[in-house]
Structure 1
Amino acid sequence: MRLSKLSLWVIIFILLITNITTLLFSKGNTEIALDDESVINQKKPLATIENEKIKYEEWLDLLTRGYGEKVLTEMVNQEVVFQLAEQEKLEIDSKIVEREIARLLIMQGVLTEEERKSLQEKWTEQIKYRYYMKALLTRDVEVSDSEVKQYFQTYENQYQFEEVVQLSHIVVSSEAEADEAYQKLESGASFTDVAQEYSMDEETASEGGYLGYYTETNSFIPPEYFHETLAMDEGTFSQPIRTDQGFSIVFLHHHIPAVNVSYEEAYQEVKQDLALDQMDQNLDPKLLWEELEVTTVLDKND
C-alpha cells in the first residue's frame, strides 16, 4: 500500500526523536529510565572498564554537545507550529490520527495495552505536529478542488488503512498433536512454550510462534487464520484449525480495525500533498519562526 507523504514523514520523525529530549533535559532526577528495564543513576558510573569509569556528567556533556542544539531547535519548532496552528484554528480530522497510529502500531512487536496507550499519546502529538507544519508551510500554494478530487480518486487506497490482526501460531502435522498442544494451553501453559515445543514452523517456533500483522488479503498465512481470529478476543487462542499445512492453533495478540477515510476527511491532507509537489524546497519549520517572537541561547550576537 502506498503511503501518503504525511505517513512517511510521521514515521521517520517519530523514530528519529524518540526519547532524546528525555535524556537531555532530566538533570533534576536522580534516576532516569532509558526503557522498561534500564535505569541510570546519576550518582553512579555508567560503565567501568578495568579501573576506568564513565561518569554520568561526561556522558550527558557528550550528548548535549552532540544533540543539544538539534533537540532544542526541534522543541522550538514544535512550540512555534502548535502556537501558529492555534492562532489559525487548524484542525486535523480524527480519522487521520487514527490511521497514522494504526500504521505506526504495525511496525511494533507484541505490546501490552498499557504500552500501546503510552505510545499512542506520544504519537498523537507528533502526528498533529507534522500535519500542522505541512498545513502552515503549504498554505500559500494554490491547489484547485478539481486537482484534489482527481488525485484522491486515483490514489484513494493510500489514504486508507486495511484491517489487520497480529498473530502467533502453532503448526503441527496431525490432529492428535494439535489436540495435545491445545490441552497444554488449556491447562495454563504459555503459548510461547507450547509453540517452541510443538510447532514445525522452524522460522517462527523459536520466537514462540510469532507471525506479526496480517491483512485478509495477505497470501503468507492460511486464509483460515484471519477469519478465525476475527471472532476471537485479544489474548486468546483458537481451537485446532485444519489448513493446507496440517493443523494450527492461532493466538490473537491485537486486532486493528480498518480506517476508511472519505474524500471530505482526506481533503486537507491531499491538498497538502499536492502543494508539496509544487514546492522546490524541503519542509523546514524554522521558516515559521519569523511569524512569532523567538529567541534562543543559540542566537548569535552581532
Structure 2
Amino acid sequence: MKYNRKPDTGTESSKKRKLKTRPLVILIGILFAFNIFWFVGWLMPNKPKQTDEVVASVSGEPITREQWMTAMEKEVGRETLLNLVNDKVMEVAADRYGIKVSDKEVNLEIALIRSVDGRSHSGQDEETMRQKIRSNLILEKVLTKDVVVKDGAIKKQYDENSALYNIQTAYRTAIIVVPTMDEAKQTIEELSKGSSFDVLAKERSMDLASASLGGDIGYINDSTDSIDKAIVKAASGATENSTSEVIELSDGTFAVVRVSEVVKGQSFKFKEVKDHIKRELALEQISQSVSPEAFWEEFDAKWFYGK
C-alpha cells in the first residue's frame, strides 16, 4: 500500500506505518480464515445426527426422531397445515374486503358458544380458540357483506330468543372417571401429593373422550344436560383451580372433578348482539355452506399437499 507518491521506505515515518498496519492485517487475515471455516462448517450438514437421535426404545429397538416426526406429520400434519393456510386466507380476505373483527366480537362469540355447547372447544388453549373464532367471523362477514336483513327481523329474533343472550356462569371442567371408590380415593391422594390431573386422566380415566384431552370436558353450567348431573353439581359454585372430593355417578362409577376456570355469567342487550343476530339471519339466506378453501384460488393459496 502506498501512502506517498514518492517511495520513502527508509524513513522513520514509513516504518511506524508498517508497525501500525501489521497487527490490523494479521487480524483481518485471522477473521477471514475463521469465516471460511465457519462457512464450510455451515455447508456441511449435521442433520443426520438430529434425525438419527433416539427419542424412545422398545426392547432395545430405537425409535428415532425422524420416525417420530414422520408419524406426526402423517397423523396431524395435513390438518394442522390446513388450519394455518385457512387462517392466513381469511386474514388476506379481511384486508381485501376491509373487514374488521374486534376483541369484543370474539369475546361475545366465545360467551355464546360456551352457553350453548361448552364442549366445542374442549382441549383447545385460549389462543387457538380465539384464532379459530376470529377466522370464522371473517368468513361469515365476507359471505354476508351484501345480504340485506331488516332491523325488524333482527329485533324479533332477539325478543323471541332473549334467554340465549342471558349467559349463565360457566365452569371449565375436567374429570377422571374410575370404576371403584378405592381407585377414586387413590386418585385424590396422588393429586394431593402433586401428581398432574392431566396425566392421571390420560392414564386411568374410563371416559375415553375426555381422557385423551387430559380429562377436559369444556365449559359447563347449571343447565348443561349432556353431562352427568353429579358432575354438574360438583362443578357449579366451585372456585378456580379447585378439585372435588370423590363423587358417585349415575352409572355406578366414581369421578374426581377439577374446575380450572370460572367465567362469570352476563346479559347482552340488543345493541350488543344486533350485528351477531344480523349475521346469523343473513347466513340462513345463503343456500350452501362455504369454507375458507373456497377462497384459495382467489388469493393464490398453495400448499405442500397439492390440490
TM-score (norm: length of structure 1): 0.50
Who wins on radius of gyration, i.e. which is larger? Answer: 2
Structure with more relative contact order (C-alpha pairs < 8 Å, separation 6 or more): 1
Q: Which has the higher helix share?
A: 2
